[in-house]
Chains A and B, each alone.
Chain A
Amino acid sequence: MLSRVANSLYWMSRYMERTDGILRMLKINYASSQDEIQEFSWKPVLKIFTSLKEDAADALAHDTRAVLQFMVIGKENPNSVLNIVTLARENGRSVQDHITKEMWQCINDFYHIIRQDKLAETLQSEDPITTLDSLIKQGLLYFGTTDVTMARGEGNSFINVGKYLERAIQSTDILDVKFSDTFFQLDKITDTTYWKYLLMSISGYELYLKTYRSGFEAKKVVEQIILNEEFPRSVVYSINQLHRYFARLKHDRNPADFNKIDFMIGKVKSKVKFSTSDSIVHEGLHHFLSETKKSFFEIGTSLNNNYFAYS
């Protein structure tokens, strides 16, 4: 497979995964903002998903309508759903002959939907959940179509490598920023709506209720989001999948490149796998998360250097 094609598939997939993450975050935070007695702050969301400066984020943090506008269709926001879907489509467009026609149409339709003027209107004047839901569904259609139609070859492996690396980064980010609100003092958080919304934003609420019967506790939330191998948004699940799909790229012709990245993934995988919620608290949650995130970024850079670079 051409390096350029692998690169485009990988980024198309990362952008689609990010789109899904952003939309879910927006939906749940919006719901949360309607529930809040005190003024709801969008600052954690803005910090994870945009590159806004501190004061610009502060200015926007309490205006729900403006945040939705900025995050979904803001042309000036490089990480808005509009811009990310456009990037996913540009990448998909340049590799149309490597994805199935159904996948391409799915991304292309998404692009045309997000660009409709009507969308800007309904986002402002009608129930935002309806709008966000319809966009999330468009993304799910892509994931389903990919799963059902895409041949299980090298292309599919790059798509999944991109998807799970993006998801791993997102899940660490979500914890990192959410807990920075409380200065990483896990025992200080007592408000259960906070946990509920955090878990709901990554579809982990019901699983939490089934796993832990004794109510909300910060350490258990951390445990689920980092260490639960069955939770599809957990850090460890994402790493397992990343490793699984990367292993399929093994090829006689580039053993050195493969072994290098395989080692990097294996290392962060062991570190997470053999942690417990106690050991993480002991190490310091923030430290643990930023070290893990650093490993993910290094894996991304190495993929770029060893698999995608034109050399």
Chain B
Amino acid sequence: MQTSELMQSYLVDANTWDEMSTDATVREHYKNAVEFLEKLSIDDLNKREEFAKRLFMSQGVTFTVYSSGEGIEKIFPFDIIPRIITSSEWDTIEKGIKQRLKALNLFLKDIYTNQFIIKDGVIPADMIYSCPHYLREMHNFPIPYDIYVHISGIDLIRDFDGTFYILEDNLRTPSGVSYMLENREITKRIFPYLLPQSNVRSVTEYPTILHRNLVSLSPRQINNPTVVLLTPGIYNSAYFEHTTLARLMGVELVEGSDLVVDNHKVFMKTTSGLQQVDVIYRRVDDEFLDPLMFNPASKLGVAGIMSAYRKGNVAIVNAVGNGVADDKAIYTFVPAMIRYYLNEEPLLKNVPTYQLGKDEEREHVFKNIDKMVIKKTNESGGYGMLMGSAATEEEIDIYKKEVCADPRQFIAQPIISLSSAPCYMAGKLQPRRVDLRPYALCGPSGIEIVPGGLTRVALKEGSLVVNSSQGGGSKDTWVLGPSSGGF
């Protein structure tokens, strides 16, 4: 039987939660998909994998790598086997993220105004002021509806017993949502008929909700406010995402040089003169946003945009200065924030985190360094981290010295093994480690999370690093509807 051919070699690591199988049997919520896949020959699966690649290439879902003066188009690796999440698992995730975002929003409001959380001794002042993304310029800055985090991508992982943990909060300009949408479209093409029979919840609402939220932020109470998406330009690696979102929402995609500020109002330069802009969904980082206030050498931003923002003539999404809330050292305090602001117990746990600024914690970490991962607090994308289990003595020594020079800039976490999910590789299913990034949208009417997200995969066997910059790929992510069976 082909059944065994595809499945027999699927060997799960004993100390790892596998999304599909438990004790060599297939979990209930994967049965339908596995049954479907088993009917296909290896040849057939290879063809579909090839087809998926072709689709990505032809649609320009690519990023460009420049070498020797020539651009080479690459696709972000895509694994054809969907990752499936049950309705009840999703329930937990959804409630947990909503709760967390509520607290984080209140924290940002507080930290840029009254700072009660410092005064009440919940977070030490030096933790805040030593954070490079804490922006003094944002103090007492009027923020429409007090919403700072309009769009977030919070990363979740699962430990060996299946418990979800929050790995990090991305509250600035999280990327990847176009892959959530695109991966689903690809699945529709490579596995026709599979989705409708699998009770999978749709993700297509995302751009509609986002657009509705953006429109509702317009400072001018007019019928058709002008919403734009500000991109750093076609050389940005996420450019595909910017065009996709602009297209799906039907808004103008602009670059910094398309905008100009006059009398504290933002305008775009059109073929029929200047047109006032009301809402800017920016994919440009804080420090490049306004050369008059931040990095003076920035050409990606717009001179004077912050003054228009302060005057309330334009809404900027996400708010400026959010970096203080997704800093990896501040992360440790999020459970305390939830208790402080909401008087609730956190629904989703943090990964235990050690502050290397504290002597005893640093010593503990150095003693157990082979079980630890050390990260820089202000880096992302998997850069600047040390996996204690995989590093050489020498690398560890060098890293330790770096840590001791400025311990505030580092945190450590015990290595969490990450759950595994089946991937189609070399003609069979093989387990690879995955994480999950759902995208939450926060507007004046509340927080909404589209049922789905981006599942990132560490494609190398045994690897725990899923970042695309470190050789990670992605999968379509299915959240099942509640009516499917008893789970």
Q: Give residues in A with beta carbon < 8 Å to B.
A: 1-6, 90, 93-94, 96-97, 101, 104-105, 108-109, 112, 154, 249, 251, 253-254, 307-308, 310-311
Contacts and interface: CB of A to CB of B under 8 A. Distances in A.
Contact of A254 (B57, B233, B252, B273): B273
A90 B234 contact: yes
A97 B246 contact: yes
Interface stretch (B5-13, B263-271, B374-382, B466-474): B263-271
A93 B234 contact: yes
Contact of A96 (B247, B251, B254, B257): B247
Contact of B58 (A2, A3, A105, A311): A105
Contacts of B273: 253-254
A158 B243 CA distance: 20
19 contacts: A1-B270, A2-B252, A2-B268, A2-B271, A3-B258, A3-B271, A4-B258, A5-B252, A93-B60, A93-B234, A93-B239, A94-B233, A97-B252, A97-B253, A105-B58, A105-B59, A108-B59, A308-B271, A311-B269
B483 interface: no
B421 to A, nearest CB: 30
A97 B243 contact: yes
B255 interface: yes
A97 B257 contact: no
Contacts of A104: 60
A254 B269 CA distance: 13
A147 B73 CA distance: 28
B243 to A, nearest CB: 4
Contacts of B60: 93, 96, 104-105, 108
Interface in B245-283: 246-247, 251-255, 257-258, 268-273
A90 B233 CA distance: 11
Interface string B430-473: 00000000000000000000000000000000000000000000
B247 A97 contact: yes
Nearest to A91: B234
Contacts of A90: 234
Interface string B217-260: 00000000000000001100001000100110001111101100
B59 A2 contact: no
Contacts of A97: 243, 246-247, 251-253
Interface in B47-63: 57-60
B101 to A, nearest CB: 29
B257 A307 contact: no
A304 to B, nearest CB: 12
A233 to B, nearest CB: 28
Contact of A310 (B234, B239, B247, B257): B257
A123 to B, nearest CB: 19
B57 A112 contact: yes
B296 to A, nearest CB: 20
A109 B58 contact: yes
A251 B269 contact: no
Contacts of B270: 1-3
Interface of chain A, main secondary structure: helix
A108 B64 CA distance: 13
Contacts of A5: 252
- Residue from the set B234, B246, B270 with the largest chain A CB neighbour count within 10 Å: B270
Contacts of A308: 271
B299 to A, nearest CB: 13
A93 B58 CA distance: 12
A108 B246 contact: no
- Residue from the set B57, B247, B255, B257 with the largest chain A CB neighbour count within 10 Å: B247
Nearest to B252: A2
Contact of A94 (B59, B234, B271): B234
A4 to B, nearest CB: 5
A112 B243 contact: no
A105 to B, nearest CB: 6
B234 A3 contact: no
A251 B251 CA distance: 22
Contacts of B268: 2
A3 B260 CA distance: 13
Given A108-B60, A109-B58, A307 B271 contact: yes
A103 to B, nearest CB: 12
A4 B255 contact: yes
A161 to B, nearest CB: 11
A109 B54 CA distance: 10
B257 to A, nearest CB: 6
Nearest to A90: B234
Given A1-B271, A2-B258, A2-B269, A112 B246 contact: no
Contacts of B252: 2, 5, 97
A5 B229 CA distance: 14
A86 to B, nearest CB: 9
A123 B47 CA distance: 29
A198 B468 CA distance: 54
Nearest to A254: B272
B363 to A, nearest CB: 53
Given A105-B60, A109-B58, A249 B243 contact: no
Which are the 8 A-B pairs with shortest beta-carbon distances? Answer: A96-B243, A253-B272, A97-B247, A97-B246, A108-B60, A251-B272, A253-B273, A6-B271
A249 B243 CA distance: 25
A310 B269 contact: yes
B247 A101 contact: yes
